[in-house]
Structure 1
């Protein structure tokens, strides 16, 4: 993290904890990018001391079920009382306080969506187990992000709603040791003053302009920056937000969210012309409030403060191409293949009603939850006849549901014919090497099928070995005719084999679309194109995600027909670079 003049990042990180203690619900919370250790424990300890005594801080474990997250039917109390009893979840128990989400980078999107809904509404709606209740849950969230790679991040739905993102690993330990003990009485006074803090119009306009200058499109960011500025003013004992409060808010809220650098030659927008003064004010002094900040100066100050607080490495990331953006949008929660439901193994994703057959696994707890509300009625129907204390019927049976993530095999189908074959192969080699660099995290596999002359060849069988890929790709000759149909047939056979092995195929076809050799090996463009379209249709019918990269100097109409027949994304890249191709593959994989 780069130091702003007079504002070391360690100092700003400590201030973020104090601001969160002043307004935990309004600021949403913070994401701590840090491995377990002293800096994180010190920051959390600072936050605990700053919070009012008795404030709840509940820990949310990884893979928490909905019954524990949101609440539901208290099975033991319900069976004892003979009527439905509501059990409060972690979010409701933390009402008025904070929730600590451990290993937030591994949180699945469904859980993140439920937490985001609670952050927005300030309440938990329990609509399950025959219950329909609403429980107050005005909370803030501290997401503990332990991700080692850039792609390992908490779900965007959570990061969008948290005011601060702090990179504690980058702070010097001596700076962390110098954090002062918070004055709990001063923070309590700031909480009491918060509702009365006003914001000058110039500050509000400058915050919005700064967000736009750094490419922050979310409307939540300026609102969170405004809440942070008001909390800073309240903590400083001011009744109105000052320029230093806005500067602190911009550094903390905008720094990690920036997506581009402000244009150097971009002048700040000119304010609209002032309206004519009323007759009774013609002889009055300057209309600007005394001591109010100059709008242009304030905006420049916010831009400088935000730019100085950008995390280390972000400046380089802002200048990178779309490859990183596509990789981040595709997500990185382990394996990137399709998610398949299973009755026997995988990650539990809830239960379903059904019959006990075909080896399905019974969820005893959820079955009892389903049966519990009906026990008084069923016991009365039994009319004192002997029998079990709990009556479970067929409709109460709940079976466990699991979800498995499969490996992805990216199959490159490369047109090695013609004079530009060597360039296309070089592009494929570069993209393969880029994708293989991610295999250690994503566990993807890569294969290459090359076609030219009158044959198609499996150049690289599915592998995640970079050494093997380089060895297999080296020295492939190019030139000759274009047997496009044979290339697709070979790729489809490989994709079918990968599906039988439980993997998810992804097909990337690089061609100029000029097929001139049919399946039978005889030359002729009409028959070759008909055979190619015929070979493309099974790709779409099999539901295989595909990308067709048109490498022709001018987009070829037949290549677009091929993409339609394959059900593939079409991308015209006459001068393909390996980075652009890798970005397109990542986007296709993320949309699968």
Structure 2
């Protein structure tokens, strides 16, 4: 009986037999013994001499695609090129660990090499790709542009170590297959793909390549039904986006034949056109084979993902910022060393191809001549921090309840701030003024200590609280970060900016402070903490340009989710 592990080994056999023909395989699994065993099986099935290369994370373009060998060029006095990793993998396989973290640029270069079989410099690079996807959620997976080009998608996460020891028997000796024409097989695979909700045309094309490979392994010159069905199981089933329609139970009875007249061939009868575009028996068998091999829980996961909103995060990772001397290197560009950090190796590489020409022109200078146009400086990129600023109404009899909710939400966000560039701050307004209780921080212990000591009660200087939150947000933005202001209030102010009582003037001051937040384009959220949604809070949110969230009875978890979804 076919099992997920036996199908995984079958995929490894097919990829090893023809690395480039099937494009490769996406292996969804974390590092562990099951994945290592599968890779060992794949390595053992490769023909002797077949290249198997592993791509390191963060590989530079010159190592991936090839370029000037600087040491050899300086020694020889002429340009000497070196092969990149893609050219080294020609005729074999390239293993890409942590494929879910591939940058768009690297993914585009790999996709281009898969399509053309060459690197930009012209060197041949005909290889299969093994993407080791270690993502833990739907938002972390290998790039779709690459996964779409690979025939096989494996999920080894649900395979226990004990299952790998089980006997493998994918062949049912009682199954009788008839030879089929190539055009009929293509039509059947296309129908199966459409029934499974697969929109990409690459899927049936890759399945057809796999079917031909299966037939060749069995020593057949023509395709058999078993080849097409197994290709559907291996290639189409893991890509399924919906359950195919169930085959009709009833069929038209075959026409009666006169005595002595040959009965019509069932396969030919099935291929005749029927009312409503009904599939023939062969096509239905391909669909049923794919249906039976759909991984358990795959479609349920798609349905659940479609029904729910995207998973909330603690905040944006921060906008990409340009930096001239700090951050993560992101290639080089022509420039002057005063405008950035000199990239010496890339500068020498840019100058190396022109050395013979410059010496022939009689240019004076050292043996190795570098011009200003050869100078390269390193480009850097870094992400700015995101700071969530809570402006909490700490006045009145319900202050203790509101503060408890704010404290819980802040602690939940801080728990995730260790793995993201996020910070949290707290501004409390009560009595006659506002104060910054917690400066922007990621320190969970300090946050808990300062929050525990926060008192409540008194008047509601709402305008002062909004002004303090806006000033803090502008400070964060000027420092290169991003800020989100979260205001927890019922919108009913009773203390003016000057600290004197008066509801009418206090309300006008609050609307004026809210308009300033909107004018500075500060992203903001207003959480109405009243027992019932208040018109005053709604008007304040409109003046701020903020999202309005009436959460009168929300606990800390619900509040944290709402803030993360907006942030």
TM-score class normalised by the smaller sequence: 0.7 to 0.9
**Within-5 A mapping of 1:111-190:** 111-125=106-120, 133-146=121-134, 153-155=141-143, 157-168=145-156, 170-177=158-165
**1:376/1:535 CA distance change after superposition, 3 Å:** same
Aligned partner of 1:356 in structure 2 is 337
Aligned to 2:368, which of 379, 382, 390? 390
**Does 2:192 align with 1:206?**
yes
Question: Measured at CA, do residues 31 and 462 of structure 1 come closer, stay the same or move farther in structure 2, by a change above 3 Å?
Answer: farther
SS of 1:62 mapped into structure 2: coil
Residues 458/211 of structure 1: CA separation in 2 closer, same or farther (3 Å cut): farther
RMSD: 5.0
**Cα pair 1:197 1:233 within 8 Å, conserved:** no
Question: In 2, are the aligned partners of 1:229 and 1:248 still within 8 Å (CA)?
Answer: no
**Residue 20 in 1 paired to residue 6 in 2?**
no
Equivalent of 1:293 in 267, 270, 281: 281
Q: 1:101 aligns with which of 96, 99, 107?
A: 96
CA distance in structure 1 between the aligned counterparts of 2:19 and 2:320, rounded to whole angstroms? 36
Are 1:531 and 2:526 an aligned pair?
Answer: no
Alpha carbons 1:548, 1:571 under 8 Å: kept: yes
- 8 Å CA contact 2:65, 2:87 repeated in 1: yes
- Residue in structure 1 matching 2:419, options 423, 432, 441: 441
Matched, 1:548 2:529: no
Deviation of 1:67 after TM superposition, in Å, equals: 0.8
Deviations 1:73-122 (A, max 9, x none): 34455556766554432123323332112343444343233323433444
**Per-residue deviation, 1:514:** 6.8
1:486 aligns with 2:464: yes
Paired residues in the alignment total 527
Alignment of 1:492-531 (within 5 A): 492-498=470-476, 504-509=482-487, 518-521=496-499, 522-524=502-504, 525-531=507-513
3-state DSSP of counterpart to 1:123: coil
Deviations 1:325-367 (A, max 9, x none): x559x99xxxx33444444443222223333337x53222211
Secondary structure of the residue that 1:288 maps to in structure 2? helix
Q: d(CA) in 2 for partners of 1:429 and 1:560?
A: 26
Shift of 1:530: 2.3
C-alpha distance in structure 2 between counterparts of 1:142 and 1:513, whole Å: 57
Does residue 29 of the first structure (1) align with residue 24 of the second (2)? yes
Instruction: Check the 8 A contact 1:9/1:309 in 2, yes or no.
Output: no
Shift of 1:511: 6.0
Q: 1:170 to 1:268 in 2, by over 3 A?
A: closer
Which residue of structure 1 lines up, in the alignment, with residue 309 of structure 2? 322
Q: Which deviates more, 221-230 or 28-37? A: 221-230
- Distance (Å, rounded) in 1 between the aligned partners of 2:97 and 2:158: 20
Whether 2:328 is the aligned partner of 1:347: answer yes
Q: Which runs of 5+ in 2 are unaligned?
A: 171-178, 253-262, 273-278
Moved more, 167-176 or 478-487: 478-487
User: Match of 1:189?
Assistant: none
SS at match of 2:361: helix
Q: For the Cα contact (< 8 Å) 2:2–2:168, is it kept in 1?
A: no
CA spacing shift, 1:506–1:146, aligned 2, 3 Å: same
Contact 1:198–1:239 (CA<8 Å) still a contact in 2?
no
In 1: Cα distance, 2:153 partner to 2:485 partner = 37
Residue 404, structure 1, aligned to residue 399, structure 2: no
TM (norm. structure 1) is 0.70
Alignment partner, residue 175 of structure 2:
none
CA distance in 1, matches of 2:321, 2:30: 32
Structure 2 counterparts to residues 296-311 of structure 1, below 5 A: 299=287, 302-308=290-296, 310=298
Which of structures 1 and 2 has the larger relative contact order (alpha carbons within 8 angstroms, sep 6+)?
1
CA contact (8 A) 1:233 1:242 kept: no
- Between stretches 366-375 and 103-112, larger displacement belongs to 103-112
Q: Which SS does the other structure have where 2:196 is aligned?
A: helix
1:297 and 1:375 map into 2 onto residues whose CA distance is 66
Secondary structure of the residue aligned to 1:49 is helix
Q: Aligned partners of 1:586 and 1:327: how far apart in 2?
A: 5
Q: TM-score, normalised by structure 2?
A: 0.73
Cα distance between partner residues in 1 of 2:359 and 2:490: 74
SS at the partner of 1:322? coil
Kindly indicate whether the alpha-carbon contact (under 8 Å) linking 2:394 and 2:402 is maintained by their aligned counterparts in 1: yes
SS in 2 for 1:39: helix
Asked if the contact 2:524/2:544 (under 8 Å) is kept, the reply is no
